[in-house]
Amino acid sequence: MSRPPKIPNPLTALRFDNRFTTLLPADPLAENRRRQVRGSCYSRVLPTPVTAPRLVAFSREAAALLDLSETTCRSAIFAQVFAGNLLLPGMDPHAACYGGHQFGNWAGQLGDGRAINLGEVVNQQGEHWTLQLKGAGPTPYSRTADGLAVLRSSLREFLCSEAMFHLGVPTTRALSLILTGEPVERDMFYDGHPREEPGAIVCRLAPSFIRFGNFEILAGRGEISVLQQLADFTIRTGFPHLGEPSPAVYLRWFDEICRTTAELMVHWLRVGFVHGVMNTDNMSIHGLTIDYGPYGWLENYDPTWTPNTTDSAGRRYCYGRQAQIAHWNLAQLANALYPLIGEAEPLEQALRDYTAHFDRGWQDMMAAKLGLVAYEPALDRELVQELLRILPEVETDMTLFFRGLALVPTKASEARTSPEQRIAPLMSAFYRPEQLTPAYLDRLQAWLTNYTERLRRDNLPDAERHQRMHAVNPKYVLRNYLAQLAIDQVEQGDFSLVAELLEVLRHPYNEQPGQERFAEKRPEWARNRPGCSMLSCSS
């Protein structure tokens, strides 16, 4: 009897070049038990096998970064590998050691408690992409947790990673979302009511997952030699354009981190994104959005809003404070890098430059959202500030307001336009029409008059202004209620809404006729529903 033909494994074409584990010091202990890990950047650890991996979705754009075809991503072996059941030749699974400040307080060692890096793939363009499984089992950094993840949090991370990429926001990427076939117990709001939820694993990609906290833990422990090894490695692999590591290069590197972080904050504010848990261990050294937990989009424009139940009292990480918190987090990174530089003033100057980078970026961003050719402080400061005072006065959907603002009539048609016609493109943004009092409408109309006069100064054709504004003001964002609807359906075995959302979110700035339901403001049933309004860090 002849043997069945051996089926080739298309994933063996992935080429691994594991610089992180090759060049940096490893945890000398091999056992996977919770403990303090000292003098090391990582611990080697294997993913925990699961019983019945089933692919829910994959991102074809993220797959292309690894030179993987759609056929490969739909194969049975793909689900086995990216659920952690099967290691490919060249993989070197490990969890990173880092610390961090959580809600402003030093938390000590944190580390990859439910994330396991499979290794670094080099694609055909020579780019390095670290593959990381989130929810693949315990590591030495799991503390009292189980290292697993549930569908609820995993689906939200998968969709949001790719949505942010298509919005033009720097981000880690998501390759796949896989159900494990095993239940995981979670207390969603930490209120003593745990329940079993479907387990899931996301495979995410980044040039590296190095965070501010990777440096903080080493500096905090006085492990300066390892701190320098990690800094030198990071510069040589992620920032080679800065030159060979030296005190001067460390400073240029920190300045670049400040600049890219400022740019990231501007992007978040542009699209109305609220991260929800901006601890220093959730800040990427590459200026990427990382760790999608209790995030949300600013639907009702309220700068004090946070999606994180843990932050509901202090609102440290609310929408309007994100740029300030990023500055604070950068200061903690500066403290960690100080032993390599030995001078405080250059680091302080880079922090001051962060503020200047952010201010300029924010002004340019607001000018773009309003369809102005450029931000002119003498003309535009009060115009912008008055708008930001008006928006919170009534419950106003931020995304729909700015999208509709592009359609407000201006120029020659202005003389023939009634106040009702001028405000009509904005009406879909208001949640409660009864809040639109005569006093509010008079104030809004006065602002619109000043705004259209400012537009006439630029003298842009309406069609060009519409195009400019629609290129920076998205129509489609991953509203929490949409993600929750997809979660509900997957729990019932229906994956179709995940695929539909992924396709719509690929083109967030386009009109997409027939998909308008995905651009509607939050429905009333979602106002206070768990998962649609406030979320916990387990989300």
Catalytic center residues: 281
Query: Which amino acid appears at position 361 of this protein?
Result: G
DSSP E strand stretches across 112-220: 115-122, 128-134, 173-186, 195-206
* CA distances to 201, 393, 410 from 176, in Å: 8, 41, 46
Q: How far apart are CA 164 and CA 272, in angstroms?
A: 11
Q: What CA–CA distance (Å, rounded) separates 55 from 375?
A: 47
Q: Pick the closest to residue 355 from 319, 331, 389 (CA basis).
A: 331
Q: What contacts 360, CB < 8 A, 6 or more positions away?
A: none
Q: Among candidates 331, 324, 360, 309, which has minimal Cα distance to 535?
A: 309
Phi and psi of 43, rounded to 5°? Answer: -125, 135
Residue 325 to residue 482: CA distance in whole angstroms: 28
Q: How far is CA 423 from the centre of its chain?
A: 33
Residue with tokens 């179709």: 496
Distance, in Å, from the CA atom of 130 to the CA atom of 118, rounded to the nearest integer, reads: 7
The 10 Å Cβ neighbour count of residue 2 is 4
How many C-beta atoms surround the C-beta of residue 327 within 10 A?
18
Instruction: With CA atoms as reference, report the closest residue to 297 among 473, 480, 485.
Output: 480
**In terms of C-beta distances under 8 Å and separation of at least 24 residues, what long-range contacts does 240-246 make, across chains too?**
none
Q: What is the CA radius of gyration of the chain?
A: 24
Give Cα 1 to chain centroid, integer Å.
Answer: 55
CB 203 within 8 A of CB 282: no
Which is nearest to 219 in space by CA: 322, 129, 338? 338
Rounded to an integer, what is the distance from CA 326 to the centroid of its chain?
14
Half-sphere exposure of 83 (CA within 13 A, CB side): 25
3-state secondary structure of 116: strand
Q: How far apart are CA 428 and CA 409, in angstroms?
A: 16
Distances from the Cα of 124 to the Cα of 17, 75, 95, 160, 227, angstroms: 13, 22, 26, 26, 32
CA-to-CA dists, residue 139 to 47, 147, 175, 307, angstroms: 9, 7, 22, 28
**What's the rounded Cα separation, in Å, for the pair 367 and 405?**
13
